[in-house]
Amino acid sequence: MTFLLSRLPRAIFTIFIILVINFFLFRLMPGANSDRNLVNSPRFSAETKAQLRKTFGLDKPLGTQFLVYLANTARGRLGISFAQKRPVSDIIREKVGPTLLLVGTAEALAIVLGMSLGALAAWRRGTWWDIGAVGFSLTMYSVPTFWLGILMVSMFCVGLRAFPTFGMVVPGEVHASSWLYAMDVIHHMFLPVVTLTLVLLGGYLLIMKESLTGVLAEDYITTARAKGLTDSVILSRHALPNAMLPMVTLIALNLGFLMGGAIEIETVFSWPGLGRLMFESLQSRDFPVLQGIFLIITIMVVLANLLADWLYLVLDPRVKA
């Protein structure tokens, strides 16, 4: 606990720096000033322009805007969307569920499959299984995400017509039961989940394989074998716990970044999550929404690092020293 508490002030300071950068960055970007995007339109009267400045908080000095931004962020208020004229927090809240469903499922599958295949490749190092697994992982790791998604759509949606090309459910469909609704969601998310799993799988497999290969060369593994322990006991009780530290780092960082949604996957498959929202906001120059999404992503990365530190303590008590 003392170890984690010593890192808490650093995390809080990092989040404050993120808040500062997040506020000023979007006001320095070309076209970010809503005066230029909305208020100066010749369609608006002077009264409308004044009301818009007040709505978006542009009637105050920049320093006052920053203080208001800090106070509103502390209360969970992330501003008003330029495009939808609604609170950004409400818009993001609607998109978090689909993103967590898609990314969480793909992440869980990639972790389980990547760790299992990586451990097997390390245990059978030098065999055809090892060569094939590493070749497959390198291929998946280097394939562009959007290209793999388009390939999946072309083959299974357009060619075989086995899966829908967009959305989370059939538009306008009234489901008679929760079971039918769940099956419709699973049918729509199958290809995006498979695509994202394949993209993430390569990294997990390679890291697990290299980490476990180093651990298996340690003296205590040789001692365990000399004691007559079975391969399964050596792998599960001695090798895997010590090979998990690099995996913890990768998993924690991926969880932080993927909270923003897999932009390319959600865009290709038109999945209604944070990634798709980010893409649409970039197109419409909806900077308050982008600012809110970036803030959530960066805070999640900081929290993921704290989670990784805690898992280090669980897996390796020597970290306390």
Specify the DSSP element, H or E, that contains 250.
helix 240-258
- Predicted local distance difference test score (pLDDT) of residue 43: 63
- Report whether 299 contacts 18 (CB < 8 A): yes
Q: What percent of the chain has pLDDT over 90?
A: 4
Range 60-84 average pLDDT: 80
Average per-residue pLDDT for the chain: 80
Q: What is the DSSP letter of 144?
A: -
Cα→Cα distances 144→202, 262, 264, 276, Å: 12, 13, 9, 18
| DSSP string for 293-321 | HHHHHHHHHHHHHHHHHHHHHHH-GGGG-
Specify the pLDDT at position 36: 47
User: 163: closest CA among 194, 196, 187?
Assistant: 187
pTM confidence score: 0.79
When mean pLDDT is compared across 4-8, 73-77, 82-86, 143-147, the lowest value belongs to 4-8
User: What percent of the chain shows pLDDT beyond 70?
Assistant: 85
Q: How many other CB atoms are there within 10 angstroms of residue 76's CB atom?
A: 9
264-312 per-position pLDDT tens digit: 888 888 888 888 888 888 887 788 888 888 888 888 888 888 877 777 7
pLDDT (average), residues 67-95: 84
Domains of the chain: 2-74 (no CATH), 99-320 (1.10.3720.10)
Identify the pLDDT of residue 259.
63
What pLDDT does 44 receive? 63
The pLDDT, as a whole number, for residue 120 is 84
Of the ranges 156-165, 252-261, 307-316, the best mean pLDDT one:
156-165
Residue 39 has pLDDT above 60, yes or no: no
pLDDT of residue 193: 92
**In the structure, what pLDDT confidence band is assigned to residue 45 with cuts at 50, 70 and 90?**
low
Which pLDDT score is estimated for 49?
Answer: 65
pLDDT tens-digit map of 99-131: 888 888 998 999 989 888 888 888 788 788 888
pLDDT at 86 over 50: yes
- Whether residue 25 is predicted with pLDDT greater than 50 in this model: the reply is yes
DSSP secondary structure string, 86-125?
A: SBHHHHHHHHHHHHHHHHHHHHHHHHHHHHHHHHHHHHTT
